[in-house]
Chains A and B, each alone.
Chain A
Amino acid sequence: DVKVTQSSRYLVKRTGEKVFLECVQDMDHENMFWYRQDPGLGLRLIYFSYDVKMKEKGDIPEGYSVSREKKERFSLILESASTNQTSMYLCASSLNPGQGGGYTFGSGTRLTVV
């Protein structure tokens, strides 16, 4: 069964910690995405990547960075976690538009920063 796997379902971190959220897909998709989901705001795009070592800023990149060293893995990094980064984080992957196909999502990581 093809899928997108996020390494942690729940995570609690302290303010100021460096936090890594990992996402792995086994579908050989070119594109990968990180979203955060907050009540009343829907899903907002943080960063996306269309190829290894390539990245593009989404709508809310401040306070985050990403890494894509291998095609199947896309990491979201919180350099110095803050309480306003407490949220649900969703990873997704897709084929390029020209190749059709939709998006596949991971199960999400609920991050709490205390």
Chain B
Amino acid sequence: AQKITQTQPGMFVQEKEAVTLDCTYDTSDPSYGLFWYKQPSSGEMIFLIYQGSYDQQNATEGRYSLNFQKARKSANLVISASQLGDSAMYFCAMREGRSYNTDKLIFGTGTRLQVFP
């Protein structure tokens, strides 16, 4: 069965430093998608970055990049030049299912990131 694992319940990083949030996944489907979401204290889920299983290059979106290592089944999020506003809960998620009635998003347990001055 598909599964997402985030082993870091909490992380601290100093402002302007880079931080890596870990995510490993398990699936037997060759076609899947990996997502990272940010959830500030206000509760909304903010989409950050997406990586498809067949994408040749690692995804990047501004200060966010996804370190995709397919053989190791890992999809770590790298945030460069951390800002105080990056303090939030971060969720890794996987989309598995190519047919319309099996498409769903499975989440990890999340990592709470705190950025300090």
Q: Interface on A for B, CB 8 Å cutoff?
A: 30-31, 33, 35, 40-45, 48, 50-51, 54, 56, 58, 88, 90, 92, 94, 96-98, 102-103, 105, 107-108, 110
Contact = CB atoms under 8 A, between A and B. Distances in A.
B91 interface: yes
A73 B93 CA distance: 24
A35 B93 CA distance: 13
How big is chain B's contact interface, by range? 20 to 34
Given A43-B107, A105-B45, A98 B98 contact: yes
Interface in B73-117: 91, 93, 95, 97-101, 103-110
A50 B103 contact: yes
A107 B105 contact: no
Contact of B91 (A31, A42, A102, A110): A42
A58 B109 contact: no
Given A42-B107, A107-B43, A108-B44, A50 B101 contact: yes
A43 B99 CA distance: 22
A103 B105 contact: yes
B100 A103 contact: no
B35 interface: yes
B64 interface: no
B109 A40 contact: yes
Given A42-B91, A42-B108, A42-B110, A50 B100 contact: yes
B100 A96 contact: yes
Given A50-B103, A97-B95, A90 B109 contact: no
